[in-house]
Amino acid sequence: MASHITILGGGPAALSIGYYARKQSLPFTIYEAKAGTGGNSVTLRHGDFLFDSGAHRFHDKNPEITREIQLLMGSGLKRITIPSKIYDNGVFIKFPLSSMDLLRNMGPFVFARAAIEVLRARLTGRNGEGNFKDFALHAYGNIIAGRFLLNYSEKLWGMPCNRLSPGIAGKRLEGLDLKSFVMDSLLGSRFRVEHMEGSFFYPEGGIGAISRQLSDVCTKENIRTNARITKVLHDNSRICAVEVNETERIVTDEVVSTLPIDFFLDIMEPKPPEDVILASRGLHYRNVILVALFLDRESVTDAATVYFPDSDIPFTRIYEPRNRDGTMSPRGKTSLVAEIPCQREDDVWNMGDDMLVRLVRTKLVDDIGWIRENEITGTSVNRLDHAYPILEMGFEEKLREINDYLRRFHNLKLSGRNGRFIYSWIHNMMVLGRDIVREYDARKPVRGSGE
């Protein structure tokens, strides 16, 4: 009989493992501390309004995984083509950045200086392989990077860009390389639509529909909610058992953890070596507060997401859920969801809900002027813990030390954004889940083999 897989956590990474394990008839159980699955990739409800726990989307980056999600979701998965934008002193600029759009909004003289900087950065041999600041300056030059990327990144991650790894960029700075800068200037909107704006998939009823469908395939019998992992017991070579809710001990065969890696190490018994614990203390996560405003008006923006680099604005981005799916708001109404990144020890994390709403409302009503006070019919505040791993300079060495220690446990695997401390998306979690299950399936005894 195949070994039982104990999956710690119930977010997209854990559900992906369960999904593929179910398809291969491998026994497994998912343990989730909260009352429902989905982790930080869920859809929330406020009356007749729906909104996601962040500006989520499904990226069409892996054809096999895209086909899998299309089969899973059926007609409920739609391709959306709508640009994101940067809000810059009252002006909207498309993102990824377009040279023609920058020319219109920055003016010819500033644009010419910025263009020279982009060309000089690429031709002077600066490779941008140091920190994120170096990387951004290499990609965009000082004028564009300083205006649109560096302030924004400091707001998002909570530290100067010269302390951040270039890995935080992911694929987000592909929009304005040297070739696209020239081609976009020559071909204008035709090149931009085909090569820069792109599109994404989005499910009817919100991103949580993907988590729900994955959960349905896993089946309720294989998922335990309200089941917090409080201890991980081991003998220095394998994970022997896990403790649930400080009361129940469950013997384990195979274990996959999607829990934050520092938390996983903290609950191990016996405790890991001190140097491993110290390394884990050097890994940090960013929290996010969602402030949603529900509005008695049909529309506010025409963007998928709007980014706010200005350090005087407390939120980093706002999305309008109905722009992804019209069913997210009642007919004739809409909503805006602002994201405020912070640390647990920050004042804003511990700020009262009323003050947080006032903070966002004041900016949108009085300063930016997007909405009027009498249009707001309701509000909601939600806090997301461990929303993003912060890829600081030198995090790779700390992670390598941790992984070197964890490799001694031959029945343990790590997955997920927090479990592996990687900045990634839903399609990446599906790939990891597929590959982990393929390895387990390859070990499965063949019927009739006598094993």
Q: What is the CATH number of the domain that holds 226?
A: 3.50.50.60
Task: From 197, 231, 249, give the residue that closes a domain.
Answer: 197
8 Å CB contact between 41 and 57: no
Instruction: Give me the amino acid identity at 60.
Output: D
Decide which of 352, 375, 390 is a domain's last residue: 390
- 30 and 178 both lie in a single domain: no
Q: Domain containing 118: what range?
A: 95-197
253: nearest Cα among 243, 265, 267, 239? 239
- 172 vs 175: CA distance, rounded Å: 7
Assign residue 327 the CATH number of its domain: 3.90.660.20
Alpha helices in 178-306 (DSSP H): 178-187, 189-192, 208-218, 261-266, 274-281
Return the pLDDT at 192. Answer: 47
Contact 418, 432 (CB under 8 A): no
List the beta bridge partners of residue 250: 242
| Tokens encoding 388 | 């993003």
Instruction: Identify whether residues 412 and 337 lie together within a single domain.
Output: no
- pLDDT tens, position by position, 392-421: 999 999 999 999 999 999 999 999 999 999
Q: Is the dihedral of CA 326, 332, 333, 336 positive or negative?
A: positive
253 found inside a domain: yes
- Measured between alpha carbons, how far is 257 from 417 in angstroms, rounded to an integer? 11
Domain end: 169, 197, 225, which one?
A: 197
Q: What is the pTM (predicted TM-score) of this model?
A: 0.91
Residue 141 within any structural domain of the chain? yes
Residue 172, pLDDT score: 53
Residue range 417-443, pLDDT digits in tens: 999 999 889 999 999 999 999 999 988
| Residue 349 near residue 288 (C-beta atoms within 8 A) | no
Task: Give the strand pairing for 412-414 and 254-257.
Answer: parallel
Local structure of 379: helix, strand or coil: strand
Rounded to an integer, what distance in angstroms lies between the CA atom of residue 306 and that of residue 338?
A: 10
Question: Does the residue 50 lie in any domain?
Answer: no
For residue 426, being part of any structural domain is answered with: yes
Residues 277 and 397 in one domain: yes
Same-domain pairing of 175 and 296: no
pLDDT on residue 451: 43
pLDDT at 195: 39
Q: Does one domain contain both 407 and 264?
A: yes
Distance (Å, whole) CA 73 – CA 131 = 40
pLDDT at 45: 97
**54 inside domain:** no
Which pLDDT value is given to residue 156?
A: 94
Question: What's the confidence (pLDDT) of residue 170?
Answer: 63
Query: Total domain count for the chain?
Result: 3
Statement to judge: residues 182 and 242 lie in one domain: no
Shared domain for 135 and 221, answered yes or no, is no
**Residue 79, domain member (yes or no):** no
φ/ψ region of 6 (left if φ > 0, alpha if ψ in -120 to 50, else beta) reads beta
Q: What is the DSSP string of 63-97?
A: HHHHHHHHHHHGGGEEEE---EEEEETTEEEEES-
Residue with tokens 């930016």: 368
Please check whether residue 87 lies inside any domain of the structure: no
What pLDDT score was predicted for residue 29? 98
Q: What is the pLDDT of residue 184?
A: 53
- Judged by DSSP in three states, 431 sits in helix
Closest CA to 144 of 168, 122, 170, 164: 122
Residues 6+ apart with CB under 8 A from 350: none
Cα–Cα distance, 249 to 362 (Å, whole number)? 50
In this structure, the answer to whether residues 351 and 375 fall within a common structural domain is yes
Separation CA 252–CA 219 (nearest Å):
20
**Contact status, residue 78 vs residue 203, Cβ threshold 8 Å:** yes
Residues 272 and 407 in one domain: yes
In this structure, are 336 and 247 located in the same domain? no
Is 384 inside a domain boundary?
yes
pLDDT, position 108: 85
Residue 266 and residue 410 in one domain: yes
Query: Residue 194 in 3-state DSSP?
Result: helix
Q: Are residues 214 and 275 in the same domain?
A: yes
Per-run averaged pLDDT (10 residues), the chain, 451 residues: 92 98 97 96 97 93 95 95 90 80 82 81 65 85 87 93 86 50 49 53 97 97 98 98 98 98 98 97 97 98 94 95 96 98 95 97 96 98 95 95 98 97 93 97 68 43
